[in-house]
C-alpha cells in the first residue's frame, strides 16, 4: 500500500444509492486510493451517517454530507453517477477547484454534455455511458462490425435493466447505437428507431432499432444484433453485478489524475483504438 501522501483522494457524489455504495466499496478496496468523502441530497435522511464499507460494514472516519462543493475541494477526483442536473452543477465545481471529474451519469442532453465539454477545457473529464471493460470492448466490436456489414444487415439493439432504472434506452444502448452509426458513417439521430407501437409499416433500410426491457434486479444486459436474410450475428454483454462499473470508474479516476485538461472516454482509459 502506498504511503498516505501518495494516495489519490477520491470522492463520491450520490454515495447513498446502489451505485454510490458500490463505488464506496470499490474506492475503499483500491490500493493507491483514499476515500475523501461522500455526499447525498440535502433532504436525504442519510446526511450525517457514517460512511461504511458496503460489504464488510467497516466504518470510516467520514460522514455523508450534503455539500458537494466541499467534496470537490477536498478531493483529487470526484466520481459522479447522479442525475444530469446535478452533474452539470458538479462540472462547475470541478472547474472551480481543479478537480478531475469522472462522469457516468446517463440521460444527459446535448446541453448537459456541453457543460462537461466546457469543464474539460480546464480539468480532465472522463465521460462514458458505461465504465465496464467488457462493455467498452463491445462498443469497439460493434463499430467494427457495422463498418464491415452493409445495410443488408439490419441493426437492432436490445437492453434490459432492473425495474428501478429511470431512463430508456440506457446510456449504454445509446452508446452502442452511436458506435454502430459511426461504423456506418451516418448520424444516429437520422437513423435511430426508438419506438414501435401499432401499425408501424415495414422496417426502414439502414435504421438502427432499439428495444427496452425492465424487470427484477438485472444489473445490465445488452445485445447488438446484425440481421440479414438467412443469417444473424449477435454481440452480447451481460453484467452480473454493478461492481464492474465501479471498478472501471475507479480505474478511470486513477488514470485521469495528472493528465492534461481534456474530455476523455473509456477508450482512452483502456487504450482501445478510435477509428
CA atoms of 229 and 203, how far apart (whole Å): 14
Write down the catalytic residue from 161, 222, 237, 251: 161
* Residues 6+ away with beta carbon under 8 Å from 161: 170, 213, 214, 218, 219, 220, 221
List of E strands, 116-219: 124-127, 154-161, 192-193, 208-214
Residue 161 among the catalytic residues = yes
**What 8-state DSSP symbol labels residue 205?**
T
In terms of Cα–Cα distance, which of 109, 110, 107, 73 is closest to 90? 73
In terms of Cα–Cα distance, which of 156, 147, 166, 169 is closest to 236? 156
Residue 165 among the catalytic residues = yes
Q: On the CB side of 199, how many CA atoms lie within 13 Å of its CA? A: 0
Write down the catalytic residue from 97, 144, 162, 165: 165
Q: Catalytic residue positions?
A: 161, 165
Amino acid at each position: 500500500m502506498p504511503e498516505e501522501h501518495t494516495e489519490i483522494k477520491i470522492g463520491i457524489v450520490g454515495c447513498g444509492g446502489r451505485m454510490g455504495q458500490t463505488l464506496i466499496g470499490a474506492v475503499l478496496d483500491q490500493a493507491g486510493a483514499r476515500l475523501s468523502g461522500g455526499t447525498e441530497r440535502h433532504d436525504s435522511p442519510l446526511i450525517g451517517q457514517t460512511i461504511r464499507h458496503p460489504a464488510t460494514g467497516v466504518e470510516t472516519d467520514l460522514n455523508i454530507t450534503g455539500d458537494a462543493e466541499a467534496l470537490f475541494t477536498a478531493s483529487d477526483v470526484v466520481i459522479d453517477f447522479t442525475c444530469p442536473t446535478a452533474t452539470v452543477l458538479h462540472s462547475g465545481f470541478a472547474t472551480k477547484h481543479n478537480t478531475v471529474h469522472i462522469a457516468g451519469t446517463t440521460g444527459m442532453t446535448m446541453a448537459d454534455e456541453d457543460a462537461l465539454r466546457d469543464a474539460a477545457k480546464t480539468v480532465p473529464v472522463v465521460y462514458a455511458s458505461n465504465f465496464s471493460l467488457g462493455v467498452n470492448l463491445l462498443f469497439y466490436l460493434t463499430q467494427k462490425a457495422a463498418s464491415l456489414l452493409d445495410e443488408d444487415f439490419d441493426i437492432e439493439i436490445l437492453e434490459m435493466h432492473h425495474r428501478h432504472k429511470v431512463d430508456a434506452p440506457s446510456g449504454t444502448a445509446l452508446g452502442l447505437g452511436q458506435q454502430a452509426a459511426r461504423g456506418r458513417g451516418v448520424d444516429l439521430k437520422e437513423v435511430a428507431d426508438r419506438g414501435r407501437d401499432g401499425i408501424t409499416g415495414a422496417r426502414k433500410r439502414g435504421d438502427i432499432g432499439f428495444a427496452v426491457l425492465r424487470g427484477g434486479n438485472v444489473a445490465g444486459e445488452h445485445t447488438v444484433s446484425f440481421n440479414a436474410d438467412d443469417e444473424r450475428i449477435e454481440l452480447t454483454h451481460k453484467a452480473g453485478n454493478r461492481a464492474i462499473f465501479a471498478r472501471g470508474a475507479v480505474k478511470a479516476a486513477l488514470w485521469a489524475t495528472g493528465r492534461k485538461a481534456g474530455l476523455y472516454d473509456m477508450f482512452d482509459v483502456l487504450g482501445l483504438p478510435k477509428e
